[in-house]
Structure 1
Amino acid sequence: MPDLRKEIINILDGKLLTPHFQPIVSLTHKKILGYEALIRGPSNSPLHSPFNLFTTAERFNLSTKLEFLCREITIQRYADLDIKEKLFINASPLVLLQPEFKKGETLRLLDQYGVNPRSVVIELTEHKPADNYEIMRASAKHYRGMGFEIALDDLGAGYSGLRLWAELLPEYVKIDKHFVHSLHNDPIKLNFVRSIQSMAVSLNCSVIAEGIETQEEFKAIEKIGITNAQGYYFARPTAVPVKEIDKALFAIEQDTDCKSAPFNNATTAVQIIRDITPISAKTTISDVMNLFHHNSELTILPLVDDNIASGIIFRDKFLTKLFSSRYGIDLHGKNPIKMFIENTPLCIDKNMPIDLVSKQLTSLMTNDPAFIITHNGEYMGVGTLLDLLAEFTRQQIDNAKHANPLTLLPGSVPINNQINQLLANKIPFGFGYFDLDNFKPFNDVYSYDAGDAIIKAVANTLIQYIPAESGRVGHIGGDDFIVIFTCDDWLTRCKNILKAFESTVPSHYSDKDINAGGIHTENRAGEKCFFPLISLSVGLVDPVSTSQCQSHVDIADLASEAKKMAKKIPGNSLFINQRMAAKNSGNFQSFTHSATKLHIVN
């Protein structure tokens, strides 16, 4: 068993510590705000991990010596790396009470290595119960007196975090990672974090969410409006810190929405953009007041620096706060307007469909009358709820004009527009033409109401197996349906549709006709004929073939060819037209469906 006392003394005497730096990311500006310094012992030592290292130091009354050594090594390395962003250093308040504590030592180190104290943030942690708050208050006062900013670490993990927050009024508060882990699936955690963000706004404090490890956690944190984050999702602690965060990490949800945009709607956020000249978040409150005073029509001011929006100032809210007891022009006129920012503004990519914009605004339950419209994450302009509502209403009316009155599914016009948009954006998709067999004889014998019921059954089956995230279903008239497939398993879905429809058909016939396998009635020439039970024929065009088409007209031609071939096959069947993909090589695939299995027909 190793002698831990000897081990910790050897580490301290030999300065055998290595600082690692983990970035703290500004979600508002989509770049690194600063780095938290984390200490590691020698890799071959039982005290390599920070927990073992600091626990052992405390056990042998060496905590103060260890903390000062950590600080010295960290500041030296920070200076050597010439890091421009803020440095977050952990500090234990109890160290101030130790006899060997040296006042002013941190400032001496900063001066020695040429580091500006204003670039340092001291993270205070309180994990032990206490009857009073004198130690924490003394710590905050001590470090603030040196020009440092203060962060309250691990909020929610200590014994009296909320009271400390209210008394210390730190510049930053870090939410303990327990409340971040899987918060997107935990309503209690979501409400807790929302409350923290709300309190932070009222206390003019920035929140840092620690321990973000997944896309889902990041998305949840961003939607709540938290402005800073830290965790493995962005980067792990390293001896040589990363200098930039991959921009794609900030745009996951945006990219997903924009990729699915052509499948949902042809009208995007760019149609409602307002070109409003932004101002810097550093603009003084008195200057903003003058802008509003000299332009009575100005109601919205976006705050933008380096092409990144950090907030929106609304005229009415601004004036209300300015002339309230808390904000006065005489008292705060020279302060930057950023102190009025309550939440990170909702940013919408210009290519996001109008219906998805509406859905996102509804899910966030935002009361703000405007939002930012961006391109590749950079400011383009502003969108307002009024403009969004007007465009959404116009679009709904336009869609209603082209909807089938029986099924209310979109007709050929909106479907063709979406096909052309998919082709223009080079997004792969499959296409299907669904047509009923033996429909007219059934309609003649069982009445138009029965025929309408069969058509509705087809529509319901298609919608069931092709939800919005997998494609778009259209009804182009009579018993003809078309489908845009935006999913990879389009063929499997079609096979399932044939099975489901076949099981539905008997409910629309009499027992006599079911037993007979069909009906006897006149054909178009007036001759008595036997017609089998209604079935579904599907002509399909695969994504490779659609990608080689120029417009919806080319795709319609291919689908019609495939549908004609499918209708030559008895029963529920599908036929895949790969003429474009095979370059006229005759590569076709057809399938028929029986009650027990699918057959490939060569």
Structure 2
Amino acid sequence: MSILYDELTKILHGKQLTPHFQPIVSLYKKKIMGYEALIRGPSDSPLHSPFNLFDTAERFDLSTKLEYICREVTIKRYASLDVKEKLFINVSPSVLLQPDFKKGETLKLLDQFGVDPRSVVIELTEHQPTDDFQLMREAIIHYRKMGFEIAIDDLGAGYSGLRLWSELQPEYVKIDMHFIQGIHNDPIKLNFVRSIQNIASSLNCNVIAEGIETEDEFKVVEQLGITHAQGYYFARPTAIPLEKVNKSLFVVSTQPSQFNATKAAHIAKFITPVSSETAISEVMNLFHHDSDLTILPLVDDNVASGVIFRDHFLFKLFSSRYGIELYGKKPIKTFVDKTPLSFDQNTAIELVSKQLTSTMRNDQAFIITNDGEYTGIGTILKLLEEITRQQIHNAKHANPLTLLPGSVPINDQIDQLLATKVPFSFGYFDLDHFKPFNDVYGYSAGDDIIKAVANTLAQHIPAESGLVGHIGGDDFIVIFTGNDWLKCCENILNDFKKAVPHYYKDEDIKTGGIHAENRTGEKCFFPLISLSVGLVDSVSTSQCQSHVDIADLASEAKKQAKKIEGNSFFINHRMATKSQENLQSFAHKSVVKLHAVN
């Protein structure tokens, strides 16, 4: 036949395959919940890589045989390692429908090596079209009765992923890595993944985000409320499974909201938990003896696994005539319908609210943790009370024209970021030639221009990327918390330049400006309105002691930007200082940082 065929048959005959295990992480519990088994050929073979191995097997019609041997060596290795977490085994739908699979060959392997079927997840990997959905449903029912759970792999990349999902109703669905990689910079991918998470929440299905490689990707996935993750960010596949994930990888999103970022810890209430193995009759006694106890968290080894609500518990218990007799001795975990939502105590409450909304769940309470360990319970009522209090406070300091926060909340936010050492950049936006425009076109037109600036800033800077403020007149402030702050500023200036002509008469657009009196009463020509921006980079802001120092740096930068015609910015890289000598040095050496956006 060929050299590759001979190599493949030799590998299959000798079962020369090595399983590698990549962790699948629970983002709520912040620990490994399972491993996906990935096969490698011999290290000195041209079929070492899984792609070459399976592609060659398909060419020579040996895919089914290869999958069976993969399953055997994987289960054998998994059992020898005495792993307690779940094992995800890749299975093609076509193989799943083979008579040998349905006869229980996999169960025989599990029994032979002492593996509980309830610890195994059959992960359907679709490389070819699946047409017989009726047969697929029957097969899945058959395997579930044996104790297996089901996962759909690479949702969004296969031929009929959504159809499979709706037909099979798996316990897990894995989003193809294409939609995860670069999600922090791609609104289309973000909306796609958000939609998948919303559907999964309504179906009580766990989403696994595949292919996470960077901290930025992880942050977006975590903020969307996705329950599980997998990728090089946590660990690469290894022959010896990684036992624990470094907890520092579970970075807490510190992105500020539009106002002061009150943390989830502020609304946490510690409620003494019980073990998930506690008998239902004991839980009944707890509720009976404490009429104020409405929520009961289930915690084992400091990790919350469920929340019991008094009313729901009692209704479910007594809806059956023999409820207490039937269920009394069973563990309370049997009353848990779904994994509770969980938030680190340092998460801003606005992000908590956003994630609760995006998951489309109607949970009345959620878990608050510290490094993944239970610290208390948060409730929707307490969350709404705190958000309402903040809104009332911030409304007192909002600009009446744009409704953006004024100097008080802006300064508070800056001081808070400095105190917590969160990196950020800063921008001072000021309109050029605004007074002449206001004099010629009137105050109403002037207000429209100011609102146009506010709208442009808001469009480019969502709450998770920074804070926009209006500190009076035609002056705006932006706190940038993203790494793309400079590109964002350029986009703002470009969009504003395109919008400005809409506020002028045609004849003024043709001449490029208007004639009006200057501040001394002389008639002068003034170009079309533009924006000048003074920018302070994150290195310089980190050296400041308070919002006063940053305001000084931004004001200096804005003065330099105003020396350039048209929409422009100037970056101040100088560290905060009161020294006039240093100021002169800064002005001379930083002239290369003058930028006009044409």
State whether TM-score is above 0.5.
yes
The answer to whether the 8 Å contact 1:432/1:482 transfers is yes
Distance 1:444 1:54 in 2: 78
Using the alignment, how far apart are the partners of 2:350 and 2:161 within structure 1? 27
Aligned to 1:562, the other structure's residue is in SS state: helix
Q: Which has the larger radius of gyration?
A: 1
| Partner of residue 486 from structure 1, selected from 481, 486, 499 | 481
Shift in Å, 1:243: 2.5
Q: Tell me which of 316, 323, 334 is aligned to 1:321.
A: 316
1:584 to 1:538, Cα distance in 2 relative to 1, 3 A: same
1:174 matched to 2:143:
no
Q: From 135, 159, 173, give the equivalent of 2:103.
A: 135
The SS at the match of 1:169 is helix
Does 2:341 match 1:365? no
Deviations 1:62-103 (A, max 9, x none): 99x98999599648xx55x6x4536869899xxxxxxxxxxx
Q: Distance in 2 between matches of 1:416 and 1:67?
A: 60
Which residue in 1 is equivalent to 2:519? 523
What is the DSSP-based 3-state SS (H/G/I as helix, E as strand, rest coil) of the residue aligned with 2:545? coil
2:157 is the alignment partner of 1:163 = no
Secondary structure of 2:374's partner?
Answer: strand
Task: Give distance in 2, aligned partners of 1:55 and 1:446.
Answer: 73
The DSSP-based 3-state class of the residue aligned with 1:177 is: strand
Q: Which moved more, 1:276-285 or 1:315-324?
A: 315-324
For residues 526 and 71 of structure 2, what CA distance do their matches in structure 1 show? 89
| Distance in 2 separating the partners of 1:87 and 1:461 | 49
1:194-593 equivalent positions in 2, closer than 5 A: 196=171, 212-214=210-212, 238-247=238-247, 251=250, 255=252, 258-261=253-256, 265-325=260-320, 328-510=323-505, 515=511, 517-521=513-517, 523=519, 527-530=521-524, 532-533=526-527, 534-567=529-562, 572-580=567-575, 584=583, 586-588=585-587, 589=590
* Inter-partner Cα distance in structure 1 for 2:557 and 2:502: 29
- State how far apart, in whole Å, the 2-side matches of 1:343 and 1:283 are: 18
How far apart, CA to CA, are the structure 1 residues paired with 2:170 and 2:76?
37
How far is 1:297 from its partner? 1.1
Distance 1:576 1:36 in 2: 48
Cα–Cα, structure 1 residues 552 and 89, in superposed 2: closer, same or farther, change >3 Å?
closer
Residues in 2 aligned to 1:156 and 1:291: alpha-carbon distance in whole angstroms = 46
Query: Counterpart amino acid of 1:243?
Result: E
Distance 2:517 2:420 in 1: 49
> SS of 1:520's equivalent?
strand
Question: Is contact 2:37-2:90 (8 Å) kept?
Answer: no
Give the distance between the partners of 2:11 and 2:505, measured in 1 at CA: 93
How much has 1:321 moved relative to structure 2? Answer: 2.1
Partner of 1:107: none
Distance 1:334 1:529 in 2: 92
Cα distance in 1 between the residues matched to 2:161 and 2:552: 50
The answer for the alignment partner of 2:179 in structure 1 is none
SS at match of 2:427: strand
Contact 1:303 1:313 in 2 (8 A): yes
SS of residue in 2 equivalent to 1:387: helix
CA distance in 2, matches of 1:445, 1:16: 85
Q: Is the 8 A contact 2:88 2:122 kept in 1?
A: no
Per the alignment, do residues 196 and 406 of structure 1 end up closer, same or farther by CA in structure 2, a change over 3 Å counting?
same
The equivalent residue for 2:187 is none
Which whole-Å CA distance do the structure 1 matches of 2:432 and 2:7 have between them? Answer: 88
SS in 2 for 1:536: strand
**TM-score, normalising length from structure 1?**
0.72
Separation in 2 of the partners of 1:406 and 1:529?
Answer: 30
C-alpha distance in structure 1 between counterparts of 2:152 and 2:141, whole Å? 17
- Describe the shift of the 1:141–1:262 C-alpha distance in structure 2 as closer, same or farther (beyond 3 A): closer
Q: Which residue matches 1:116? A: none
| Structure 1 range deviating more: 170-179 or 335-344 | 170-179
**For residues 54 and 146 of structure 1, do their structure 2 counterparts lie closer, same or farther at Cα, with a shift above 3 Å needed?**
farther
Tell me whether 358-367 or 211-220 shows the greater mean CA deviation: 211-220
Task: Report if the CA contact (8 A) 2:275-2:300 is conserved.
Answer: yes
SS in 2 for 1:290: helix
Q: Which ranges in structure 1 are unaligned for 5 or more consecutive residues? A: 93-123, 199-205
- Between 27-36 and 466-475, the greater mean CA deviation after superposition: 27-36
Amino acid at match of 1:449: S
Q: Secondary structure at the match of 2:343?
A: strand
Aligned residue in 2 for 1:97: none
SS in 1 for 2:401: coil
User: Residue deviations 1:583-602, cap 9 Å, x none?
Assistant: 556123457777xx66xxxx
Identity percentage of aligned residues: 49
What are the Cα deviations for residues 297-345 of structure 1, in whole angstroms up to 9, with x where unaligned?
1111111112211111111221222223498322232222112222111
Q: What residue ranges of structure 2 are gaps of 5+ in the alignment?
A: 174-203
Aligned residues: 542
How far apart in 2 are the matches of 1:347 and 1:518?
A: 58
Q: How many Å apart are 1:195 and its aligned residue?
A: 5.8
| CA offset digits 1:540-582 (Å, max 9, x no partner) | 3232221111111111122233334444556554444344269
Would you say the 8 A contact 2:212–2:230 is kept in 1?
no
2: CA distance, partners of 1:193 / 1:180: 16
Cα RMSD over matched residues? 5.1
Cα gap change, 1:186/1:232 in structure 2, threshold over 3 Å: closer, same or farther? farther
Secondary structure of 1:402's match?
Answer: coil
SS in 2 for 1:560: helix
> What is the CA–CA distance in structure 1 between the aligned matches of 2:564 and 2:541, rounded to whole Å?
24
Letter matched to residue 263 of structure 2 = T
Which region of structure 1 is more displaced relative to structure 2, 390-399 or 318-327?
318-327
Give distance in 2, aligned partners of 1:376 and 1:450.
Answer: 53
Query: How big is each residue's C-alpha offset from its partner over 1:110-149, in whole Å with a ceiling of 9 and x where there is no partner?
Result: xxxxxxxxxxxxxx9962455x998349958995998944
How big is each residue's C-alpha offset from its partner over 1:192-222, in whole Å with a ceiling of 9 and x where there is no partner? 6866469xxxxxxx98989944477998799
Tell me if the contact between 1:265 and 1:354 (Cα under 8 Å) persists in the aligned partners: no
Contact kept? 2:515, 2:526, Cα under 8 Å: yes
Per-residue deviation, residues 489-523 of structure 1 (Å, max 9, x unmatched): 43444455445445544544456666384323373
SS at match of 1:312: strand
Residue 174 of structure 1 aligns to a residue whose secondary structure is strand
